[in-house]
Structure formats: structure tokens, C-alpha cells
A and B are shown apart, each in its own frame.
Chain A
Amino acid sequence: MEKKWEEMSSDEKQEALFQRWISPEGVKFVSPEAEKVYKERTTRIKDAIQLKKKPDRVPVLLIPSFAPAYYSGLTPHDVMYNYDKINAAWKKFSLDFQADSHGGAAVPSPGKFLEILDFKLYKWPGHGVSPETTYQCIEGEYMKADEYDILIHNPLYFFYYIWPSRVFGALEPIQTLPHLSCLTEMYGVAVPFFPYGTPPVQAAYKALLEAGDEALKWIQVVGGFDQEMPALGFPAHQAGPTKAPFDVIGDTLRGTKGIMMDMYRQPDKLIQAMETLTPMFIQLGVDAAKRVGNPLIFMPLHKGADGFLSDEQYKKFYWPTLRRVIMGLVDEGCVPFIWAEGGYNTRLEVIRDLPKGKTAWLFDQTDMAKAKKALDGIACVAGNMPMDLLTVGTTQDATAHTKRLIDICGKDGGYIMANGAFFDEVRWENLKAIVDTVKEYGVYK
């Protein structure tokens, strides 16, 4: 009899999730060849991550931002406002470059949805930046310095009412809504509901319903992409994302400056808040992995990069809750696929404190020889194809750098070739050269 999930060890859970990924239920492969390639690709990535045996060759992933749109001659605005154009462009990108995975087609968030809710957190094509430009975050204190206690003691109330009322203009009225914890008796049961009868709150809810319609339309499109690509032989390289608690607060709650002030002015509250967020962000990843049947959970890291924090600050504020999120995911069989944006040279010693074969670290500008040395026998390393090389380098440069990376990192497995940062418009022939070089030069004999 099969073991129940809760009776499995974390190794068994990881293996079970990998098997669901390698042999996905309900996928009708378009051809026996597509099925064969799909299994080879998933197995290749699994072997590179687990460090148990050498894969057949170095896996190669391309993880784009709006690149597929540009590649099809479309602007970011085109695909954010015409959902029907998304899949064809993203599919063409995968089929033409033939990397070992796809990353979903959810980069173009639905423009009309953002308009209905008056999204304030980002500028997007046609709204603050030109139609040809990618969306960009606006730094701000969307959570105020004196609101830590709400986040710590009542996180759901914070994320349901306070934060949305700041980042969505149309939802501003909902910040006046009471929480419903007093609904335990008949007496007074209607009292907390009267604000729902007021015109501003009703307008907010009307916007919410409209936005829901739009989000549904969009997700039916991009969800279709996720269904179609495995059938064509392309596995998804992530089930979903989660984040480091420090980045959750530092990116879009308190902002970069806000969190840096808090490190001095209210360090205990900051740490307590990150501890509150830790189980929530473990759950986020675990739920996605189990739902999708793919252990890979994408974790983009931002504010712990070289220069952003001292070693001491990193160890005090950043790493403890990040490690707990990582380990919470690992315990449930997930593989955190951690993208260390910027440089991570000064963090390599700290991040070695992880169990073997449970994580993959994708590096942007880190010295890969050092990274490989530090994580040898601990974790798969990935990435480092530099943005300048993709954008202005020659094909010869791209080929040479690909070979160099394979030489440095790929010797006995444990390396995945990938771009170092999300990319938009690049020299397409360079992408092709990278993939082709890996397929030739990256084969393990």
C-alpha cells in the first residue's frame, strides 16, 4: 500500500513530487517523441538538482520577462491588453529556441484588470511608461512604520483590507471595514456589516467583481498555455513562487528605505513580522507544488544581495527566516529554485548551511567558480549568462561564455545553464547559440 503523504520522509515527498512532474497526469502528448523529450527534460533537471547522478547533459533554461513578446514583434502593451496574442508569442519562443522548459506565460499581467482596480504599485505600458517598455515597481511605504503590530497579530486582516486599499486605488474604501471577529453572538450581528451598504464600499466591491471577471478571462488564456506546453514536450520549471520574508517587507510593504530604517529603529518588530510571514510563505509554495504536481518553487531574492546588507545584517535580518522558508519547503518535498539577483559573492559561506540536493541556486552576477566551490556537494548552481552579453555581445562571445560556464560549473553535474536576470529584447541569435552550445558541449559522456 502506498504511504500517506504525512507518513513520508522529506526525501520521499520530493521523489513523489518529482515523479508527478516527470509523469504528469492527464497530459496528452502530441506524439511519442514529445513524451520522450518531456521525460528526458524533467529527468535531466531532476538529476542536476538532486546531485545523486550525472544528468545526460547540462540542462538549459531560458527565463524571460517580455522577451517572447518582442521576439514576435509585439510590445508589452500589446500582450497586456490582447490576451489572445500571449500564447502564440510565448509558444513560438519555446518552440524556436528549444530550451529544456517553459516558465509559463503569466509575465504580461492583464492591463484592463490593473485599470479597473487602479493599481498603484507599478507603472505599466501605457500607464506611466511607454507601450514598448516593461512594467516597473514604484517604491513606497505601502505599510506605515507604526503598522507592524497589525501585520504581526492580524496578518490576514492586513493582507485583506489594509495593503490592498493602499495599492489599488479602487479599493481604498475597504480600509474602513471592520474585521468580523465580533460575530459570535446574535446580539450585534449586523453592526459590522453596515459599511457594506455605503456607496464607496459598494463601488469598491463592484470594481472587485469586474476585476475578477477580467482576471478569470486572462487566467483561462495563460492557464491554457500551461496545459499545452507539456503536451508539446516542455515541462514547467516552476509550480509557483514564494519569497524571503525580508523581501516581502522590503520590496512592497515598507519599501527599501522603510525596511532599512526599521532595522535600526524597530529591529525586534521587523524580526517578529518576518517570523509571522514565514509559515505563510512556506504554505504558499507547498500548496502550489502539491496542486500542480511539480516540486520546483521559484524564489527571487532581492535585498540580501552583495552591498545591500553587511554580513552581520544579513545573518541577523535576512538569512534566518529565508532559511526557515527554504527548510519548510524542503520538508514538504519542494525544491526551492532560488534566484539570487544581483551579486551573492559575500553570502556563499552562509547559504552553505543547507541539506544536500534539496535546492537549486540561480545566480545573476556572482563569481561562478566561487559559487560552485562553495556549494559543491550541497546544491545545484544555475545561471550567470550575463545581460550585457545577451544584449550587446556577439554570438562568438555567447558561445565562448557558455563553454566557460560548463567548464567551471558543469564538470560532474549539478549545473543548470540559464540567464542571470530576466530579459526582454536581446540578440536572439545569442540565445540560440547558448542553447545549441549546451546541447553539443554540455553532454556528459
Chain B
Amino acid sequence: MAEDLVSTLADLKEKEALGIVQDRLSAGDDPLSILDDARRAVEIVGKRFADSEYFIPDLVYSGEILKEVTDMVKPKLAKAAEVKRVGKVIIGTVAGDIHDIGKDIVVFMLDVNGFEVYDLGVDVPAQKFVDKIKESGAPIVGLSGFLALAFDSMKETVEAMKAAGLRDKVKVMIGGGQMSEEIKKYTGADAYGKDAMAGVTLAKKWVSA
């Protein structure tokens, strides 16, 4: 039955997947193992996304199903599920920009790939990134932006890290609408990620380095 949940969820069969979860809960199955299967399924979704077999709607939909599964399972959990985390990433849309769709997808992909993600939201001032780096010790920062005004906000954010003496402690990646390798150079970031999977690949590379 475990494989059933993994494959039905990975195939985005919402009703079937939720039915299996209900059956397993009724049968007294361990809620943690159900959650674990659901996460494995979403990992498969992520792989299919990386292989261009799935696209953004599929990713968003899988996230929605995962949320429904979590909501069903949560009341049965004795304690919060502990997931093994491979590393910490701070992420946010930079000052002046309130766009969040791209950022949310990256957050989701990092999360299902085992990262502990500190999502600072949108229109995030440079200082807030600096404070969070100090507080969390996260070695990776993702700066998101859709508008061209984000070019300067990103540059200022990287400079604020420098001024706080943190620049050599973190790797910085940028992404979003009009970002490019040229803008990476302009902002002083370490890398530009073309899409959500590129962000995950960069983060994985950096935590294992």
C-alpha cells in the first residue's frame, strides 16, 4: 500500500491518493510512515519536473495534495514529524518587489529536497537577510525578484552582507523574471539559477562542498 500512495500521488491522482491515506489511517497505519510516503512521492514529482516531464501546474498541484495529506494526518500525530534536513537556506523576494510565485516554487522544491528553508516573504529589506543569516547560521541565501528594480535591491543586499562581515560565510544565488548571468555579476552574487531545479542543484552543490 505504501507504493500505492507514492505512485498515485506522484501521478497526481488526487482523489485516489487521499482515499489511500484515509484507508491507511482507518487501518491504524503509522501516520509518520504515511507522511514519509507522501514526501517520497513529491520528491518523484520534483525529479519529473527536473526532467521536463512535469511543469509548474503539476508541481503546484502536488504541493496542494501534499498539504491535504498533511492536514489529514496531522491530528493523528503524537509529535511533530522530524525530517532529516540536509542544510539551511534563507530565501526571500528582495526590497521593493512583492512577487512570490517563483520564490514559493523554489521554497517548495528546496523543502521537498530536504532543506530547512527560512522563507522571509516578499519586499524583504537587506538588513532582514543579514539578521537571519546571523540568527540561523544558514550558509545559503536565495534572492528572488521579478522586476528590474530588483537588480539594485539584490546588489544592496549582497553589499549589506559584505558590510556585516558575512559575505564569505554564505553563498548567494539569484533567480526570477529578468535575472541573468549579467545581473549575477552586477549584484555580486555567486550564481544565477534559471529555474527552481537549478536553485536546488546549486544548494545541493554548496552544502556538499
Contacts and interface: CB of A to CB of B under 8 A. Distances in A.
B60 A133 contact: no
B99 A136 contact: yes
Contact of B96 (A129, A307, A342, A426): A129
A423 B148 contact: yes
B135 interface: no
Given A129-B123, A391-B151, A309 B96 contact: no
Q: Is the interface of B mostly helix, strand, loop or mixed?
A: loop
Interface in B154-186: 177-180, 182-183, 186
Given A388-B183, A389-B182, A424 B98 contact: no
Interface stretch (B27-35, B39-47, B50-58): B50-58
Nearest to A421: B178
Contact of B178 (A128, A265, A307, A387): A387
A308 B60 contact: no
19 contacts: A129-B96, A134-B147, A134-B149, A136-B97, A139-B100, A256-B60, A256-B101, A261-B61, A263-B57, A265-B14, A308-B55, A308-B56, A309-B56, A386-B178, A388-B178, A388-B186, A391-B151, A424-B148, A425-B148
Given A260-B61, A261-B61, A136 B98 contact: yes
Contacts of A189: none
Contacts of A393: 182
A261 B60 contact: yes
A143 B140 CA distance: 38
Q: Which of B60, B101, B179 has the most CB of A within 10 A?
A: B60
B148 A138 contact: no
| Top-5 shortest CB links A-B | A260-B57, A387-B178, A388-B182, A310-B55, A392-B186
A309 B178 contact: no
A146 B149 CA distance: 37
A133 B61 CA distance: 33
Interface of A: 123, 128-130, 133-134, 136, 138-139, 256-257, 260-261, 263-265, 307-310, 313, 342, 386-389, 391-393, 421, 423-426
B64 interface: yes
B133 interface: no
Contact of B64 (A134, A261, A386, A387): A261
B60 to A, nearest CB: 5
Contacts of A387: 148, 178
Interface string B171-203: 000000111101100100000000100000000
B183 A130 contact: no
Interface size bracket, B side: 20 to 34
B12 interface: yes
Contacts of B57: 260, 263-264, 308-310, 313
Nearest to B186: A392
A123 B60 contact: no
Contact of A388 (B58, B61, B98, B180): B180
Given A260-B61, A392-B183, A424-B149, A133 B56 contact: no
Interface string B123-151: 10000000000000000000000011101
B101 A392 contact: no
Contacts of B149: 133-134, 424-425
Nearest to A305: B56
B50 to A, nearest CB: 12
Contacts of A129: 96, 98, 123
A39 to B, nearest CB: 35
Contacts of B151: 388, 391-392
Nearest to A130: B96
B52 to A, nearest CB: 8
A192 to B, nearest CB: 39
